[in-house]
């Protein structure tokens, strides 16, 4: 014989709807908490993977700039993607002029993936009153990294720093000595001196012209350079002058030529 | 408060549905509410205040005033406790709406400036974390609860005590 049993009647529809909404809210809250925990765990894994900038190099570019090239390695061992990751750079020279404002294209690093962000910055040789060719100085770097992490979190990190810049022709000086008559030709000693404070060697040719106040150059010459990074350079050579040239009050213009690229140097006044 | 409305009659072979209910006494409900608010106090006040106090002590400014969190958290906890105590009454619906609205306001306080800026002293490094999307997601639960409160209010107005056998089955 079947045992009589009690059954609970079906709850009214409006009651069940209210209960369903409450349960849905609770479930959503629990899911969000679990997801945030996963994101936090993943973020720790990313930090532990130590994102880093690989060795950088500074070169003189054919477009008449200093090129700084490097790469940024970003590993994502976490469980959520890094989206729209990009780097922005702004560099100010010692005069406060912005000489670089550029950035990398945004990219996405999937969970468990890794990517290398190429960095290429081109610094103009001169900006305002400041020349990177001849003036050692501190450059102010502002670097921002932006990304969306775990679909929900907008993460931004900024780094401000001052970095020393060593000029490849630091303390550049080109001077003209007193002219003298030698074998029927007027010659004058021209002395070039500087210190290569850059991280790269000066390996090229420096040409110069002596320009008197009257205008047209009346002497020219060149120095072959092979100056190691951190080394001083000083050399003098006798240069023939056109008859009647008086360079006093004029200037010496000079160009550095390396690999087919001609880079003008700041003119030097002749007393 | 208790009651057991008569079951609809039926033949000897019919299965009688259980429609009775047993509402706990006011004392029990107060005790249950007191136990309920313990985790809420920890979740809404204790943990946020502890985190922000720790970070403030380490030179990281909190994105929101600690006293605001304490006040808003206490208001929500109080509403939850009152809602639990008055659950058998027609006040449940309005209290559920009020509690959820207060929770949304609490979350909105975080949403107003949902970017946390964390300077790392002496390093020139500054980190910022935008969590607006998270706060918006967290608002889903209270928004659904407002809907539930509205339905409960409608049910209590239309059919008073209809839900008691299901909230407090005998």
Position B19 pLDDT exceeds 70: no
CB B17 within 8 A of CB B7: yes
Minimal Cα–Cα distance from B39 to chain A, Å? 15
- pLDDT mean over B58-64: 79
CB A223 within 8 A of CB A180: no
Q: How far apart are CA A165 and CA A132, in angstroms?
A: 8
Instruction: Tell me which chain A residue has its CA closest to the CA of residue B151.
Output: A18
**B117 three-class SS:** strand
* Geometric angle at alpha carbon A194, from A193 and A200, rounded to 5°: 135
Minimal Cα–Cα distance from A29 to chain B, Å? 6
Q: Which residues of B touch A46 (CB under 8 A)?
A: none
Position B56 pLDDT exceeds 80: yes
Contacts 24+ apart (CB under 8 A), A176-180: A176/A210, A176/A247, A176/A252, A176/A270, A177/A236, A179/A241
Q: Which of B17, B130, B148 sits opposite A21 (nearest CB)?
A: B148
CB B94 within 8 A of CB A131: no
Q: Tell whether A50 lies on the interface with B, counting CB pairs under 8 A.
A: no
Which has more confidence, B19 or A118? A118
Q: Which of A2, A9, A18, A19 has the most B C-beta neighbours within 10 Å, making it the best mutation to test the interface with B?
A: A18
CB A262 within 8 A of CB A256: yes
What single-letter DSSP state applies at residue B2? E
Q: Which of A2, A3, A8, A15 has the most B C-beta neighbours within 10 Å, making it the best mutation to test the interface with B?
A: A15
**B140 three-class SS:** helix
Q: Which of A8, A19, A157 sits opposite B18 (nearest CB)?
A: A8
Looking at every residue in chain A, the average pLDDT score rounds to: 90
What single-letter DSSP state applies at residue B121? T
Residue B10: pLDDT band (50, 70, 90) is very low
Q: How far apart are CA A187 and CA A207, in angstroms?
A: 17
pLDDT for A5: 58
What single-letter DSSP state applies at residue B169? B
How many whole angstroms from its chain centre is CA B58?
Answer: 32
Q: Do A21 and B142 touch (CB under 8 A)?
A: no
Q: Tell whether A31 lies on the interface with B, counting CB pairs under 8 A.
A: no
pLDDT for B1: 47
Minimal Cα–Cα distance from B138 to chain A, Å? 7
Looking at every residue in chain B, the average pLDDT score rounds to: 87
Q: Which residues of B touch A6 (CB under 8 A)?
A: 15-18
> Does ipTM surpass 0.95 in this model?
no
What is the value of pTM for the model shown?
A: 0.78
Parts of chain A with a pLDDT under 50: 1-2
For chain A, the three-class secondary structure string (H helix, E strand, C coil) is CCCCCCECCCCCHHHHHHHHHHHHHHHHHHHHHHHHHHHHHHHHHHHHCCCEECCCEEEECCCCEEEEEEEEEEECCCCCCEEEEEEEEEEECCCCCEEEEEECCCEEECCCCEEEEEEEEEEECEECCEECCCCCEEEEEEEEEEEEECCCEEEEEEEEEEEEECCCCEEEEEEECCCEEECCEEEEEEEEEEECCCCCCEEEEEEEEEECCCCCCCEEEEEEEEECCCCEEEEEEEEEECCCCCCCCCEEEEEEEECCEEEEEEEEECC
How many whole angstroms from its chain centre is CA B81?
Answer: 9
Residue B9: pLDDT band (50, 70, 90) is very low
Which residue, among A256, A125, A236, A230, has the nearest Cα to A187 in the 3D structure? Answer: A236
Q: How many CB atoms are located within 10 Å of the residue A269 CB?
A: 9
CB A132 within 8 A of CB A95: no
Residue B20: pLDDT band (50, 70, 90) is confident
Q: How far apart are CA A252 and CA A217, in angstroms?
A: 9
Q: What is the pLDDT of residues A84-140, one digit of tens each?
A: 999 999 999 888 889 999 999 999 999 999 999 999 999 988 766 668 999 999 999
Q: Which of A21, A40, A139 has the most B C-beta neighbours within 10 Å, making it the best mutation to test the interface with B?
A: A21
Q: How many CB atoms are located within 10 Å of the residue B58 CB?
A: 10
Q: Tell whether B113 lies on the interface with A, counting CB pairs under 8 A.
A: no
**B134 three-class SS:** helix
First and final CA of chain B: distance in angstroms?
12
- Name the burial class of residue B78, with classes exposed (0-12), middle (13-18) and buried (19+) by CB atoms within 10 angstroms of its CB: middle
pLDDT for B8: 41
Position B86 pLDDT exceeds 90: yes
Which has more confidence, A261 or B160? B160
Position B133 pLDDT exceeds 50: yes
Q: Tell whether B161 lies on the interface with A, counting CB pairs under 8 A.
A: no
pLDDT for A6: 58
Q: Do B147 and A21 touch (CB under 8 A)?
A: yes
Minimal Cα–Cα distance from A4 to chain B, Å? 7
Radius of gyration (C-alpha) of chain A in whole angstroms: 33
Residue B76: pLDDT band (50, 70, 90) is very high
């Amino acid at each position: 014989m079947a045992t009589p049993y009690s059954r609970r009647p079906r709850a009214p529809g409006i009651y069940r709807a209210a209960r369903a909404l409450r349960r849905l809210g609770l479930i959503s809250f629990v899911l969000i908490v679990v997801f945030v925990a996963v994101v936090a765990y993943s973020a720790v894994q990313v930090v532990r993977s130590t994102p880093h900038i690989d060795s950088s190099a500074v070169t003189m570019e054919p477009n008449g700039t200093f090129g700084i090239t490097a790469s940024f390695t970003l590993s994502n061992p976490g469980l959520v993607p890094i989206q729209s990751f990009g780097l922005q750079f702004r560099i100010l020279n010692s005069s406060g002029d912005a000489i670089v404002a550029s950035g990398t294209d945004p990219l996405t690093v999937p969970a468990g993936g890794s990517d290398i962000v190429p960095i290429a910055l081109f610094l103009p040789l001169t900006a305002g009153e400041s020349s990177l060719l001849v003036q050692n100085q501190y450059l102010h770097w502002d670097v921002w990294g932006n990304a969306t992490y775990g679909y929900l979190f907008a993460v931004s990190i900024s780094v401000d720093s001052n970095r020393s810049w060593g000029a490849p022709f630091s303390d550049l000086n080109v001077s003209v000595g007193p002219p003298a008559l030698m074998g029927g030709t007027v010659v004058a000693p021209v002395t070039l001196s500087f210190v290569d404070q850059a991280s790269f060697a000066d390996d090229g040719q420096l040409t110069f012209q002596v320009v008197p106040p009257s205008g047209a150059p009346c002497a020219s010459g060149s120095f072959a350079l092979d100056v190691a990074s951190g080394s001083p350079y000083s050399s003098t050579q006798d240069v023939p002058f056109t008859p009647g040239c008086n360079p006093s009050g004029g200037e010496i213009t000079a160009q550095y030529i390396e690999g087919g690229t001609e880079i003008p140097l700041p003119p030097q006044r002749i007393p | 408060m208790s009651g057991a409305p008569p079951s609809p009659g039926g033949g000897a072979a019919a299965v009688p549905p259980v429609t009775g209910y047993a509402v706990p006494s006011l004392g029990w409900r107060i005790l249950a509410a007191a136990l309920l608010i313990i985790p809420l106090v920890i979740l809404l006040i204790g943990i946020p205040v502890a985190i922000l106090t720790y970070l403030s002590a380490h030179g990281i400014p909190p994105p929101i005033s600690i006293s605001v969190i304490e006040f808003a958290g206490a208001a929500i906890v109080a509403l939850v406790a009152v809602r639990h105590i008055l659950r058998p009454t027609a006040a449940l619906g309005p209290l559920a709406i009020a509690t959820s609205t207060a929770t949304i306001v609490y979350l909105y306080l975080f949403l107003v400036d949902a970017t946390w800026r964390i300077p790392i002293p002496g390093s020139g490094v500054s980190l910022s974390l935008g969590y607006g999307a998270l706060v918006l997601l967290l608002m889903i639960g209270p928004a659904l609860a407002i809907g539930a409160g509205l339905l409960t209010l409608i049910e209590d107005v239309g059919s008073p005590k209809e839900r008691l056998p299901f909230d407090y089955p005998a």
